[in-house]
């Protein structure tokens, strides 16, 4: 018979046991659950709701259960339905009557919301640290890139030359925004729902601020109904994960392209490549492809929770039990993607010569030739047409605009002087884009400074976060059964 046996005459249908249980997923939250119960019992005693002796017995019992789970010496039983009941019933087995007083003034509804928020904070913090790790790898890859240039693209067609460092820094800024989103998700989770009880608060003189403080929350959720029915903090986390996964997917796609024979811009290290079971020559970017692929899974987790929540009346509904699996999966998947991407970026070889060799395709200098004419008085639209004709001529000759003889330029416009060759020089083209945020080496050096400063601000922000209760081995991002 279940914990609520009093009201029931029949046992639950066997088919509902596994169906109704969340234990296989939420056992990952055992440390958060135990911390929540210790805080609750401590507060109950401080408020004179239970005796200090009972609270001491409860806390000691909970710690011994935690030690057993830590050691892998605890057998979970699906009949307990979820982690809250698994721990409470084991506690009562171990310490007897005081165990039965733990749930005074509490419901699983505020308990699960508390555990989930504590878990979300730990996940957000771990992902913020992993985000910083990838940014470090990209910053040093950008540093190492020196003055390597590659064809910047629009529509996947050669457009204008850019510094490879500039290209990599674009991802550093994208990841900076991802960090901000994770930080916001952390803050959204950082309020305690404990004390809301089932939905309406309780008749006991609970001190919600005390339990919030003991658990490292920055405050309490103001409305008891909202406290037990809000899962926005998980949506925030999964959205942050989804956007970051999408960013990693875009970089992964570039890695797949760059490491192909057609591009040849980078060579992945053997440690981050795979071979083929039949074609002996193959070296495949499987892990970049997998990062791209796993993005669908992370976004799927977000969509699943949005759809689960959308029709729910206040307050708690059992549908909400479906919230944790996707959130844990999204965070764990993203953490793995970040670790693999960090390794891949740190170990690739950049083929700067190859990048340079393909620059003479695609008329990368065309905009600058038009600018040359416009700076000598020709309206830009007209200059655009003149250069368009030059490109056509080059196409007919099967060469790049940069390889046309001076006479062809001369015929196209009398504004062309011998110094046009300077406008065709790819390094000069790059060096001339000195706009703030542009690709000139001077501008990129400035940008690098700012990206590093921003990195340090974020590194410090992690140190300033409210305390978290880290996952135990059943729920750690890189391992466990979640
Ligand atoms: N296992 C449940 C969940 O994950 C805990 C809360 C259950 N509350 C209830 N009233 N059935 O959501």
Expressed in angstroms and rounded, the spacing between residue 194 Cα and the centre of ligand 1 is 14
Query: What residues are labeled active site?
Result: 155, 276
* Residue 378 to residues 112, 160, 173, 414, Cα–Cα distance (Å): 70, 21, 37, 11
Residue closest via CA to ligand 1's atom 4 equals 321
Q: How many CB atoms lie within 10 A of CB 162?
A: 22
Reported pTM: 0.95
Q: What torsion, rounded to 10 degrees, do the Cα atoms 84, 85, 89, 92 define?
A: 50
Ligand 1 pocket: which of 16, 22, 312 to mutate (most atoms within 8 A of CB): 22
Expressed in angstroms and rounded, the spacing between residue 312 Cα and the centre of ligand 1 is 14
Per-residue pLDDT of the chain (482 residues; tens, 9 = 90+): 677 778 899 988 999 999 999 999 999 999 999 999 999 999 999 999 999 999 999 999 999 999 999 999 999 999 999 999 999 999 999 999 999 999 999 999 999 999 999 999 999 999 999 999 999 999 999 999 999 999 999 999 999 999 999 999 999 999 999 999 999 999 999 999 999 999 999 999 999 999 999 999 999 999 999 999 999 999 999 999 999 999 999 999 999 999 999 999 999 999 999 988 888 888 899 999 999 999 999 999 999 999 999 999 999 999 999 999 999 999 999 999 999 999 999 999 999 999 999 998 899 999 999 999 999 999 999 999 999 999 999 999 999 999 999 999 999 999 999 999 888 999 999 999 999 999 999 999 999 999 999 999 999 999 999 999 999 988 876 544 43
Ligand 1 pocket: which of 88, 106, 321 to mutate (most atoms within 8 A of CB): 321
CA angle 126, 469, 464 (to 5 degrees): 60
* DSSP letter for each residue of 129-141: HHHHHHHHHHHHH
Q: 234: closest CA among 305, 163, 334?
A: 305
**Tokens 């050691």 map to which residue?**
71
Q: 21: closest CA among 2, 41, 39, 45?
A: 2
d(Cα 192, Cα 222) in Å, to the nearest integer?
Answer: 9
Instruction: Please report the pLDDT score of residue 303 as a whole number.
Output: 98
Q: What are phi and psi of 315, to 5 degrees?
A: -110, -100
Residues flanking ligand 1, CB < 6 Å: 22, 26, 82, 108-109, 112, 316, 318, 320-321
Instruction: Please report the pLDDT score of residue 234 as a whole number.
Output: 98
Q: How many CB atoms lie within 10 A of CB 180?
A: 14
Residue closest via CA to ligand 1's atom 2 equals 321
Judge contact between 104 and 49, C-beta under 8 A. Answer: yes
Expressed in angstroms and rounded, the spacing between residue 123 Cα and the centre of ligand 1 is 21
Indicate the length of the chain as a whole number: 482
Instruction: Please report the pLDDT score of residue 1 as a whole number.
Output: 60
CA angle 356, 359, 365 (to 5 degrees): 130
Q: Which two tokens stand for residue 124?
A: 């957000």
Q: What is the position in ligand 1's atom list of the atom closest to the CA of 82?
A: 1
d(Cα 209, Cα 43) in Å, to the nearest integer?
Answer: 10
Instruction: Please report the pLDDT score of residue 467 as a whole number.
Output: 92
Instruction: Please report the pLDDT score of residue 478 as a whole number.
Output: 55
Largest Cα–Cα distance of the chain, in whole Å?
Answer: 100
Q: What is the position in ligand 1's atom list of the atom closest to the CA of 26?
A: 4
Instruction: Please report the pLDDT score of residue 79 as a whole number.
Output: 94
Q: 347: closest CA among 282, 270, 289?
A: 270
CA-CA-CA-CA torsion sign (12, 18, 19, 25): positive
């Amino acid at each position: 018979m279940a914990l609520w046996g009093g009201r029931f005459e029949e046992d639950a249908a066997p088919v509902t046991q596994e169906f109704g249980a969340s234990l296989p997923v939420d056992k990952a939250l055992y440390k958060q659950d135990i911390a929540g119960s210790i805080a609750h019992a401590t507060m109950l005693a401080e408020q004179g709701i239970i005796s200090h002796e009972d609270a001491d017995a409860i806390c000691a019992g909970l710690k011994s259960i935690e030690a057993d789970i830590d050691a892998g010496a605890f057998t979970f039983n699906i009949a307990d339905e979820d982690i809250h009941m698994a721990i409470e019933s084991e506690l009562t087995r171990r310490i007897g009557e005081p165990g039965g007083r733990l749930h005074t003034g509490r419901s699983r509804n505020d308990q699960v919301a508390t555990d989930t928020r504590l878990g979300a904070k730990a996940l957000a913090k771990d992902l913020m640290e992993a985000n910083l790790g990838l940014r470090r790898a990209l910053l040093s890859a950008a540093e190492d890139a020196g003055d390597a240039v590659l064809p910047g693209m629009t529509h996947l067609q050669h457009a204008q030359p850019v510094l490879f460092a500039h290209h990599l820094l674009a991802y550093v800024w994208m990841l900076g925004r991802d960090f901000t989103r994770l930080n916001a998700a952390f803050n959204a989770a950082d309020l305690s729902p404990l004390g809301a009880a089932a939905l309406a608060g309780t008749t006991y003189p609970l001190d919600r601020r005390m339990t919030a403080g003991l658990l490292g929350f920055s405050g309490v959720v103001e409305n008891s109904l909202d406290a037990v029915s809000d899962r926005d903090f998980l949506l925030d986390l999964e959205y942050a994960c989804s956007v970051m996964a999408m960013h990693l997917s875009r970089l992964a796609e570039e890695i797949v392209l760059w490491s192909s024979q057609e591009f040849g811009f980078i060579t992945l290290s053997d440690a981050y490549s795979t071979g083929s079971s039949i074609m002996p020559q193959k070296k495949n970017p499987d892990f970049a492809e997998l990062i791209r692929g796993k993005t669908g899974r992370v976004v799927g987790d977000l969509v699943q929770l949005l759809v689960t929540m959308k029709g729910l009346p206040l307050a708690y509904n059992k549908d909400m039990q479906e919230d944790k699996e996707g959130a844990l999966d999204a965070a764990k998947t993203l953490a793995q993607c970040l670790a693999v991407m960090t390794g891949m970026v740190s170990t690739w070889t950049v083929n700067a010569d190859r990048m340079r060799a393909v620059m003479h395709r695609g008329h990368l200098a065309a905009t600058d030739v038009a600018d040359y004419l416009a700076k000598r008085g020709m309206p830009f639209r007209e200059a655009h047409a003149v250069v368009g004709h030059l490109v056509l001529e080059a196409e007919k000759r099967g060469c790049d605009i940069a390889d046309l003889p001076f006479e062809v330029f001369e015929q196209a416009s009398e504004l062309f002087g011998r110094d046009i060759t300077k406008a065709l020089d790819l390094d000069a083209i790059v060096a001339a884009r000195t706009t703030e945020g542009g690709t000139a080496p001077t501008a990129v050096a400035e940008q690098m400074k700012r990206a590093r400063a921003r990195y340090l601000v974020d590194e410090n922000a992690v140190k300033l976060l409210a305390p978290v209760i880290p996952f135990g081995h059943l729920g750690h991002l890189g391992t466990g059964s979640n």
